[in-house]
Amino acid sequence: MEICSEEAVKYVWEGAIPLQIHLHESEVTTLPPPAPVLVLGYRIGYLPLLIPQIKPHFDSTLPPGVDTVWFDYKGVPLKWYIPTGVLFDLLCPEPERPWNLTVHFRGYPGELLTPCDGEEAVKWSFINSLKEAAYIINGNCKSIMNMSQADQYELWQSVLNGTLENYSRVVPRLKLGVLREDCKMRSISRSQQVTGETNDSLPNQTGRIPVRLYIRNVEDIDDLEGIGALDSWEKISYINRPVENHDEGGLFTLRRAMESLLPELFGPSSPSPGNQRRKTKLDAAAGEPPEAAQQETHTAQVARIRLIRVQGIVPGWDTPFAWVVNNLSHPDFFLHVCVLVSASQGSH
């Protein structure tokens, strides 16, 4: 099976969320109030990067003062450093199209949001994530620290504009490679190999895989549509821990990877990796809950996974984890995973 799929990566980079941006009523000083503006937000992009497209629509109606831009969804301020696609997957279990957001140009909630002065702050945050990913993969950030100005510029521009071709040109110089199927080693991908090079693996690898989990506690009801909107970020748990494959043989699947980070959600009698049910296509249908959560377990399970989303997709549990990592990671080399969890009903 092709562990690196150009088609899948292209699909991810082209993914975008239709947004309908409303100006907060407290900042409307003209009658009639301005109409909301429709903008396409790249999944791999960030909300503050859309401000140049949004601001002109509201400029003439803003009250006097200095702009400090922020967004909210149903009253909850949105964390600007989280990619747009991740925010959408996390906050809209039942996708809302277009996604209605409110923009503010005043009254930045400094207690809840870290400062953001626009593109520079987002770029800095992105580069720091990339450094962290490099550290996790190679044990040091050298390849990122040593990037030339030109490369840094090209890298950031490719993320800003969503241009995969440009990104793909710079990526080999980051020396982060692609994950092999065993999820223990990385290698320079076939298309990046230097002619004549016999050893295609990268030195100094740690075997660790950068992953960010966003876990949201939701009500234990069957219908996703019935899940209420998030009212506070305190309901979201954030786990920033690398995944490592310690299995001896057998396919390292998405399930095995998640189990290594959140063992209690899978119970003591989870199916062995030998349960073969491979998927070779993206499973875009509503996700199947893991079998483990529905099995009778000997000890009571405190919670179960309702839904897991990566780049808007619900991957099958038996998808090879290397495929998920190589094709669904964010440009910062982190795999961002949204998990909806419910406390289980009754006890076993």
112 binds another protein (CB under 8 A): yes
Within 123-249, strands assigned E span 178-179, 186-187, 208-209, 211-217, 236-240, 243-244
152 binds another protein (CB under 8 A): no
* Least distance from another protein to the Cβ atom of residue 237, Å: 5
* Least distance from another protein to the Cβ atom of residue 114, Å: 4
CA separation, residue 252 to residues 68, 282, 348 (Å):
45, 17, 29
Question: Binders of another protein among 124-143, rule CB under 8 A?
Answer: 131-132, 135-136, 141
7 Cβ contact partners less than 8 Å away, ≥ 6 residues apart:
none
63 binds another protein (CB under 8 A): no
* Least distance from another protein to the Cβ atom of residue 169, Å: 27
Q: Which residues pair with 38 in a beta bridge?
A: 20
231 binds another protein (CB under 8 A): no
Is residue 323 within 8 Å of 183, Cβ to Cβ?
Answer: no
299 Cβ contact partners less than 8 Å away, ≥ 6 residues apart:
267, 268, 348
Interstrand relation of 16-23 and 99-104 (parallel, antiparallel or unpaired): parallel
108 binds another protein (CB under 8 A): no
Q: For residue 247, how many other CB atoms are within 10 A of its CB? A: 16
* Closer Cβ to another protein, 47 or 136, answer by number: 136
Among 114, 201, 275, 294, binds another protein (CB under 8 A): 114
* Closer Cβ to another protein, 235 or 246, answer by number: 235
* Closer Cβ to another protein, 235 or 278, answer by number: 235
* Least distance from another protein to the Cβ atom of residue 193, Å: 28
Among 25, 31, 60, 111, binds another protein (CB under 8 A): 111
Half-sphere exposure of 254 (CA within 13 A, CB side): 24
Q: Which residues form the interface with another protein (CB under 8 A)?
A: 79, 81, 110-115, 131-132, 135-136, 141, 210, 215, 217, 233-242, 262, 264-265, 302-303, 341, 343
